[in-house]
Amino acid sequence: MGGFSDCQPDPAILARARGGDMKAHEALYAAYGTAVYTLALRILGEPAHADEVLQDTCIEVIRHLATFRDDAAFAGWVKRIAVNKSLAMLRSAWHRKARAFDGGEEDEPGIAEPAAEDDPAKQVGHATDLSQALDTLSPTARAVIWLYDVEGYTHQEIAELMNRTVSFSKSQLARAHERLRSALGDYEVTSCMPRQSSC
């Protein structure tokens, strides 16, 4: 699975895309599509919403590419757009109503049950277990943990993105880690949530 660090197209492709070349637009989509979809899915927890963020991000990139001149910062620019689109959807009234209808709770996420067996053959399933445990968190907690642990955002940056305080980001992260540890154990949480450098 490609991440945003792999999302660095050739400057010639960017130049052609700025000129309206559809093949170049397709190449850009291929470069960042998976990373954008994965980020949106982790924040929003719904494939349909992740698809919508991917499409909205694609439209935004194509629309503003002509005025974007820092080719070296392309990956970070696309990531910022995807994060902003994801968080805007998370804050939307429609998303909150859908979560309420489904019985989701914003401040009291559930805890996934830990696996009953510790079989070496199940090690392949650790990623799936983590994914399922993340899905039990509230959308806000899931967004904070993904932005901080995986995407490398600071608490200050998360607070600004969410229009909240730094202490809100820190408390959401601490509670989310505690719930994941309860569900998965310390080893899985620390080994599956590496801190990556932000691109």
* Residue-level pLDDT, tens digit, the chain, 199 residues: 457 776 777 889 999 999 999 999 999 999 899 999 999 998 988 899 999 999 999 999 999 998 988 888 898 999 999 999 999 998 875 555 544 444 444 443 333 333 344 443 444 345 556 777 787 888 889 899 989 998 889 999 999 999 999 999 999 999 999 888 887 765 455 444 444 433 3
Q: Quick one: 134 and 160 in the same domain?
A: yes
- Answer yes or no: is 71 within a domain: yes
Q: Quick one: 124 and 60 in the same domain?
A: no
Q: Quick one: 110 and 168 in the same domain?
A: yes
Q: Quick one: 83 and 11 in the same domain?
A: yes
pTM beyond cutoff 0.85: no
- Answer yes or no: is 98 within a domain: no
Is there a contact between 1 and 34 (Cβ–Cβ < 8 Å)? Answer: yes
Residue 116 belongs to domain spanning:
105-192
HSE-up (13 A, CA, CB side) for residue 198: 16
DSSP H helical ranges for the chain: 11-18, 22-44, 47-64, 74-91, 93-101, 126-135, 139-145, 155-162, 166-184, 186-192
Final residue belonging to a domain, choices 41, 58, 91: 91
Is there a contact between 179 and 132 (Cβ–Cβ < 8 Å)? Answer: no
- Answer yes or no: is 97 within a domain: no
Q: Quick one: 177 and 129 in the same domain?
A: yes
Count of beta carbons in the 10 Å neighbourhood of residue 40: 27
CA pseudo-torsion sign 174, 177, 182, 186: negative
pLDDT score of 137: 86
